[in-house]
Structure formats: structure tokens, C-alpha cells
A and B are shown apart, each in its own frame.
Chain A
Amino acid sequence: DVHLLESGGTFVRPGESLRLSCLASGFTFGAHVMNWVRLTPGQGLEWLSTIDESGHRTYYPDSVRGRFAAYRDNSRNLLFLQMNSLRAEDTAIYFCARANALDSWGQGTLVTVSS
């Protein structure tokens, strides 16, 4: 079975940085595009990034481009999201999801940004 497990979420102050991880199992990780998506109370789901199978190409929405960076380590089945200059509005549950169709999701990790 496909399994995705996010970690790294915690409480941080505005302006700080944080790195999230997503450990994949149950499938050939390096053969799939991967994504990060967040769920914000009252605002719903927001797509944050897509990274291709090799990790050479990444895509972001304007809202996080330049602050967030996705990368992956296919040898360890790991996906990462580096988040810099965090703001209160980045408070959310962060999910990793597989493939362009987002066909499998992890359970999410909570990031709280507050002064």
C-alpha cells in the first residue's frame, strides 16, 4: 500500500524557517511526481509545489514562490519542503501528495506561525 508520512511541523515565530519532510513507502518513489498542499481553516486547500520525478523541475504558485522550495532525495524516498520567512498566514496543516492527480495523501503535519 502507498504510504506517505509527513513530519517537521511545529510552532515557529514570524520570519523563521522550517523544513518539512515526507517519507514515502509502498511504491517506486522516484517514478512519481510529488506535491505539497496545505489546508488552512476557513480557506481550504492550497497547492504549494510540484516537483518532477528527478527533482530537477519545480513549480510554485505566486503566493509562495521565492519563499518555499521543494526538493527530494530519491535514494531515501524523501520529499522536503523548505519554508523561509514564515508568516502568520502560513499557519496550516501541510500534506504531501503523490502524482499529478494527487492520488495518495499523507495525514499531514501542523505548522503554527505566531508571535
Chain B
Amino acid sequence: QSALTQPASVSGSPGQSITISCTGTSSDVGGYNYVSWYQQHPGKAPKLMIYDVSKRPSGLSNRFSGSKSGNTASLTISGLQAEDEADYYCNSYTRNTTVVFGGGTKLTVL
């Protein structure tokens, strides 16, 4: 089970939009609409931001959105804020009834 591919880092200025990609295969990302995204601040537990590709948990800011095209899922954060600086991870259900995470992306707000 190979990890999903995410960029190691992305950055943006306050107010801008950024997109983090998450690339897998037809056996995971491309084969199922079960991609989730998590935000993790240092020393804190991960927090669910997006599930089932594009659904937001209740109460989560609509600045966060998810999408998928083929074997690549994406997380977009609009109106970037300082508190968005964190690590972001994607995961996907796989054909083998397992779960695979991406390697994580460090978001820096300039």
C-alpha cells in the first residue's frame, strides 16, 4: 500500500487561495469517493476538514473545499488566514479494504 503523493510544502499570503493535491491510483483515490483531508497543528490531534471528497463537517468554515479529478484529489483553502498554517494530510479508502494516507503537506502562511 503506497502512500498517496502530496507536495511537501505550499505557501501563500493572507487572503490568497492555495490548493494542495493528493495523487493516488485507480485502486484508491480514483476508484472511490472516500477521500478525506485533515489539518494538524503542532502538538495537536488531527482535525477532519473534508470527507467523501467534498463534504465539510458541520460548523467548518466554507473557506475549505475539496474536489477530485481522476486519481488526484485536491484541497483548496480560500481567504488564507494565519491560523491555517499547519500540516495537511489526505487519505483514501483502497480496493484492499484498507486506508492509505498521503505524506503530508506543510502550509506556510507568509
Partner of A50, one of B1, B36, B99: B99
A103 to chain B, nearest CB (A): 5
B98, A45: Cβ atoms closer than 8 Å? no
Partner of B104, one of A45, A62, A103: A45
Comparing A8-16, A71-79, A94-102, the segment that makes contact with chain B is: A94-102
Interface residues of A in 57-115 (CB under 8 A from B): 59-63, 95, 97, 100-108
Partner of A95, one of B1, B3, B45, B48: B45
List, sorted by A's number, 15 A–B pairs whose CB atoms are closer than 8 Å. A35-B99, A39-B40, A44-B101, A45-B46, A45-B101, A45-B104, A46-B101, A47-B100, A47-B101, A50-B99, A63-B1, A95-B46, A101-B52, A105-B45, A107-B45
**A residues adjacent to B (C-beta < 8 A):** 35, 37, 39, 43-47, 50, 59-63, 95, 97, 100-108
